[in-house]
Amino acid sequence: MLDQTPATITERSALKVNPAKTCQPVGAMYAALGVHGCLPHSHGSQGCCAYHRSHLTRHFKEPVMASTSSFTEGSSVFGGMANLQQAFQTMFALYDPEIVAVHTTCLSETIGDDIPTIIAKSRDEGKIPEGKVVVHANTPSYVGSHVTGFSSMVAGFVKYLAASTGTRSNAVNLVPGWVEPADMVELKRYTAAFALPTIMLPDTSSVLDAPATGTHAFYPKGGTTIAQIRAMGDARHTLALGAWASTAAAEQLRKQCQVPFEVLDLPIGLAATDRFVSALASLSGTAVPQAIEDERGRLVDVINDMHQYLAGKSVAIWGDQDQVIALTEFCRDMDMKPVHVMTGGHGQAFEERVKALLADSVPDANIRQQGDLMLMHQWIKNRPVDVMIGTTYGKFISRAEDTPLVRFGWPILDRVGHSYFASVGYTGGLRLATQLITAIQERQDRDAPDHALELVM
C-alpha cells in the first residue's frame, strides 16, 4: 500500500510509480464513442482492447463496445494487414456500424503497419462496403497519454470527413475536450441559450449516459453524426475547449477548411466560465441571457457565503492538463492555496501556465508535468494539505495521510454519478465548490471535540 511511500524525495528519470495518466488508445476509444453509429477498433492485441474497454466501463458504469485486430505472434512478425482486413469484413457483416474508427497500439506502431494504405486496399477489394466510413488515428502507448489519444482521434475524424463546400454556414464548431457526457449536455445548453447553431465533436451524451429503456441498442441515439462532421468544414468558427485535448482538431479544420478558431480553457469555475460565456456572446452578437447571469450570481453567492471555510485552505490537485489548469485557477479564485499541482501528461507549457496562475498567491507551489502519484504522495508527506482533488487512485494517499479527497477527472472507478452531473459552467462550478466545502466541513465535524461540534455551520 502507498502508506509505505518514503518522505525523502529522489528524482527518478526511468521509473514512474502510479502515473497520473493512462495510454493513448483509451482516449481514442472515448473520442470514437462520441460519434453516432461508430465502432471503435483497436489495431493490436486482444489484451489492449480488453483493458481499454474495461477501464472505460468501470468509469462510466456503462458497457463499452469496441473491436480488435487480435494480433497473434504471426501478426507481430508479418504485420497486421490480414487481421485488419478480416476485422473489416467481420465488423460490417455482424455489427453494421456506420463508421469504424481505427486506433493503433504499441504493437502495430512498432511493426510499422501503414493504416491508410490498408484502409485504401480494403476498400478497393470490397472489404469495406459502399457507403461505410473508416477513419484512423496513430496512438502508440509509449508516447503521450489518454488526452493525446483523444486529441488525435478527434483530429482524425476531421481529417477524413470535414469538407468545405465554399459556402459558410452560421454554425459554430465546439470541440469540448475531455469532459463527461453531462458536461457535453451543459455545453450544448449554453450554446442554445445564445441561439448559436452548434456542431459538437465528439459528443458522448446519450451514449455513455444513455437511459435504460428496456430495449438494447448496440449504437445508442447520441453522438455526432457523419453528416455533422462533414458540415464542420463550412462552419464560421471553432471553439476549442482545452489546449491539450482540442487544439489539434481546431488546427486541422483551419488547415483543411479555413475555419478560424479560438482555444479556451475548459469552462470549470468562475473565471474560465466567464471567458467561455464572453466568447459565446461575441459569436452570437447578443447579450448574456439573464438565466446565465443568475447562475453566475448563485455561484458567486456560495463562494462569498462559504469564504470562511475555503480561504487559506491548502489543496493538492492532479489529473489531465486542461482540467488541472482550470481547477487550479478556480481554487485560487476562491482564496484556496494550490500547493501541489501535477499532471502525468506532456508539455512544458503546463508548468509555465500553472506558475503564472499561482505567481502571486502560491509562488512556492510544487508543480510538475509528467509526474506520478508517488511524487504527489511525497509532496503531501513533506507539506500536508487540507484537501485533495484528483482521481480514484488518490484514495490510497487519502487513507495513508488522513486527508479528504474530492474525486475529479479520469478515472473515477469507485464511485457513481460523476458522468451524470456537470462540472463545467456556473452550475458545475457550484457543485464543485460545494463538494470542496462539504469535504472540509465533514473533516471539521469529525475532528471537533464534543463541546465544539456545531449543529449550524
pLDDT tens for residues 137-162?
999 989 999 999 999 999 999 999 99
Give the residue extent of every domain in the chain: 24-156, 172-287, 293-451
CA distances (Å), origin 13, targets 16, 55, 317, 378: 8, 27, 22, 16
Report the C-alpha gap between 74 and 347 in whole angstroms. 37
**Domain 172-287 and domain 293-451 have a common topology:** yes
Phi, psi torsion values for 36, nearest 5 degrees: -65, 135
CB-CB contact of 43 with 111 (8 Å): no
Condensed to tens digits (0 to 9), the pLDDT of residues 416-456 reads: 999 999 999 999 999 999 999 999 999 999 999 999 898 88
Amino acid identity for residue 298 in this structure: R
Residue 16 pLDDT more than 80? yes
pLDDT at residue 1, rounded to an integer: 52
Give me the CATH topology for the region 293-451.
Answer: Rossmann fold (3.40.50)
The pLDDT score that the predictor gives to residue 60 is 96
Integer Cα distance of 420 and 212 in angstroms: 14
Per residue in 389-425, pLDDT (tens digit) is: 999 999 999 999 999 999 999 999 999 999 999 999 9
Query: What digits encode the pLDDT tens for the residues 257-307?
Result: 999 999 999 999 999 999 999 999 999 999 999 999 999 999 999 999 999
Using alpha carbons, select from 271, 262, 320, 2 the residue that is nearest to residue 144: 320
* pTM for this entry: 0.95
Distance between CA 199 and CA 192 in Å, rounded?
11
Q: Which residue has the cell 458545475?
A: 428
Q: Which of 168, 318, 325 is nearest to 237 (CA)?
A: 168
- Expressed in angstroms, the distance from the first to the final Cα of the chain is 36
| Fold of the 172-287 domain | Rossmann fold (3.40.50)
Among 10-24, 182-196, 243-257, 355-369, which stretch is predicted with the lowest mean pLDDT? 10-24
| pLDDT score for 217 | 87
pLDDT band at 74 (very low <50, low <70, confident <90, very high): confident
Helix (H) or strand (E) segment spanning residue 316 = strand 314-319
Radius of gyration of the chain (CA): 23
Q: Is the pLDDT of residue 2 over 80?
A: no
Percentage of the residues of the chain whose pLDDT score is greater than 90:
88
For the record, the C-alpha cell of 327 comes out as 481547477
Cell representation of residue 250:
481546431
- Identify the residue whose cell numbers are 485488419: 84
pLDDT of residue 347: 74
pLDDT tens-place string over residues 124-135: 999 999 999 999
What's domain 24-156's superfamily in CATH? Nitrogenase molybdenum iron protein domain (3.40.50.1980)
